[in-house]
Amino acid sequence: MSPTTRVDAPRTQKNEKNGKGVITDLQHLMTESLNEASHGLDTKSALEVARIINHEDMKIANAIKKALPEIATVIDTVARCLRDGGRLLYVGAGSSGRIAALDASECPPTYSTSPQTVQYIMAGGPKALASAAEVNEDSRELGQRDIARRRPTRKDIVIGVSASGRTPYVVAAVEYARRCGAKTAGVTCNYNSELTTVAEVTIVAEVGPEVVSGSTRMKAGTAQKMILNMITTGAMTRLGYVYENLMVNVHMKNSKLVERAIHILMLACNVDRNVAVRTIRVAGKSLPIALVMLKANVDKPEAMRRLAQADGNVRRAIEDTVMEL
């Protein structure tokens, strides 16, 4: 093979954590490889295209299963940070950043958390959610600048989300946050990526080549969405914002959510609708207060005292025990 046609070995740098080579060339990443299963995709019928995508999507859950120990570690770290008054700060670019932004924006309506509790930092800013601004992801300086504006501290955890694991914006932001003393984690779909060299814990879901080569909004994006769902759902559950498997911290801002709260209270406390409606009204439209009132058979002030003492953990407020994580 002549020098002009040979395939170069992946360019690597040493990973100080494990001594293995860190792949730095994009074309050598697993997420950028050609997928033989989708060869000739442009010649297939609509049903064949759907079948190929569906077959590849079936691999996602198994890839995530291998990373469950790391996911559990991040869940507990996030829960501890939030309990102690810290924040979860996601950092991402492109599809990964949009997925992180979605997860962050869904925490307040789901768990009644403050918008400051779970935040996202997106290459290109909020405008990049609706329009392409991917040029910003190549800038380490912008990554450092944007995370610096949030002033990360030892109370916070910063999670970099990058399918490739090499996005300069994300890597630099996580690196900066770690220097500030913040807890750090990474979510990626490639082993031995640059993100693993800067994050304390790295969650890797190696989903393999995409059906459309390099289109990491597909399997990689789905894997990242599933992982971020696990992290915030797990952390909020550990904090006691879920009782049994019921979403008891729901914020009643519209008629649908009011009905959901009534239904949850009926299920959790085995009461009829009239009792549920009356208790929610007395509780000032607070489902956690209403739940503690009924389950512990206490009045509103006592329910509020218990919730405050338990840092909002509903089960511990009902049992009147000290919260531990």
- Rg (the chain; Cα; Å): 23
The dihedrals phi and psi of 82, each to the nearest 5 degrees, come to -65, -40
Contact criterion met (CB below 8 Å) for 310 and 316: yes
Beta strand pairing status for 157-161 and 183-188? parallel
32, 36, 41, 46: CA torsion to nearest 10: -110
The dihedrals phi and psi of 134, each to the nearest 5 degrees, come to -65, -15
The catalytic residue among 36, 48, 56, 106 is: 106
**Structure-block tokens of residue 295:** 């389950």
CA–CA separation, 320 and 303 (whole Å)? 10
For this structure, is 106 an active site residue?
yes
The catalytic residue among 32, 36, 134, 137 is: 137
For this structure, is 32 an active site residue?
no
CA–CA separation, 10 and 4 (whole Å)? 16
- The catalytic residues are 106, 137
